[in-house]
Amino acid sequence: MDKFKGTGVALVTPFKEDLSVDYTALEQLVNHVSGGGVDYLVVMGTTAESPTLTGAEKLEVLRFVKSKNHKNLPVVYGLGGNDTMALVSKFKKFQEDVDAFLVVCPFYNKPSQRGLQLHFEAIAAAAKKPVILYNVPKRTSVNMTAKTVVALAQHPNIIGIKEASGDTVVQAEEIARKMPDDFLLISGDDDLITPFIKCGGHGVISVIANALPGHTSDLVNAALAADYSKAKVMANDMEEILGLLFSEGNPTGVKELLRQMGIGNGGLRLPLVEASEGLKEKIANEYKVLDTKKGMI
């Protein structure tokens, strides 16, 4: 599935002061990342604050993004949960046109590896479009092992994984050695793009690409072309801002950087909160540095 190779961006959901969805800012964002050269759009990932949006809001955001997707980039929709049968029912009823689904590991109930495999096989059988697995144990409290991923990779409707385990590169290397040739291995960590691709990965679903789509896409493309020296320099250029963006949680930092770039107001829905004054100042200082570097902003 070449259309999911390269840079995907996990879109934030901008809010107005009353915390309703800010569709004007969302249109700005879609234009910004599309113009910056990302390869596909991810709607309702974790970065979208999806746990705090209603089902109706999620669908409205998806429809809006598609209506403003003038470059006709592929669209991946996040749809996950920890009640397998309820989720299967949602997939069977889902009528929106998307290119693939991003489905996170079940959270809180901590299933076994066999439970994970059966969960995803049930979803893949119900989904009308291809499924990309999402392994992020720091949020779900369960790690889907390489063995389980490789087993699921045999399913005809499971086409890849967004891998963000605590031991990401090591686990990615094991998956890469054993996965089918047409299976997608996608990084979920912006700070590991180059080593992830070097070990057999195909790209990233990125947070920082909301703000720095051009730089992120160029970094990914350099790594995919095996120009690791160039990719290393580019990764070093955004190392400082990456540390700041995640220092108070995601998407707090990237929403603040976007605010300083004139996209949205930086607001989040509880229990997440906007950046502290100290972080705002640090991001502002680093934003000035980035602004002087050609091609970064």
DSSP H or E run through 187: strand 184-187
What pLDDT score does 185 carry? 98
Q: For residues 135 and 38, give the distance between their C-alpha atoms in angstroms, rounded to a whole number.
A: 22
Mean pLDDT of the chain: 96
| pTM reported for the whole predicted model | 0.97
The separation between CA 118 and the C-alpha centre of its own chain, rounded to angstroms, equals 24
What pLDDT score does 291 carry? 81
State yes or no: pLDDT of 292 exceeds 90.
no
For the stretch 11-21, pLDDT in tens is 999 999 999 99
- What value does the mean pLDDT take over residues 81-98? 98
State yes or no: pLDDT of 94 exceeds 90.
yes
State yes or no: pLDDT of 35 exceeds 70.
yes
β-pairing, 40-43 vs 184-187, is unpaired
DSSP H or E run through 161: strand 158-163
Confidence grade of residue 290 (pLDDT, cut at 50, 70, 90): confident
What pLDDT score does 168 carry? 65
- What value does the mean pLDDT take over residues 153-163? 98
Active site residues: 134, 162
For the stretch 160-200, pLDDT in tens is 999 998 666 899 999 999 999 999 999 999 999 999 999 99
Q: For residues 98 and 167, give the distance between their C-alpha atoms in angstroms, rounded to a whole number.
A: 31
Which residues pair with residue 206 across a beta bridge? 9
The residue ranking higher by pLDDT, 25 or 294, is 25
State yes or no: pLDDT of 236 exceeds 70.
yes
Q: For residues 21 and 33, give the distance between their C-alpha atoms in angstroms, rounded to a whole number.
A: 18
Buried b (16+ CB within 10 A) or exposed e, 32-55: bbbebbbbbbbbbbbbbbbeebee
Confidence grade of residue 295 (pLDDT, cut at 50, 70, 90): low
Confidence grade of residue 297 (pLDDT, cut at 50, 70, 90): confident
What pLDDT score does 294 carry? 62
Return the closest-CA partner of residue 159 out of 76, 219, 225, 217: 76
State yes or no: pLDDT of 146 exceeds 80.
yes
Residue 205 assigned ligand-binding role: yes
**What amino acid is encoded at 39 in this protein?**
D
- What value does the mean pLDDT take over residues 27-34? 98
For the stretch 268-282, pLDDT in tens is 999 999 999 999 999
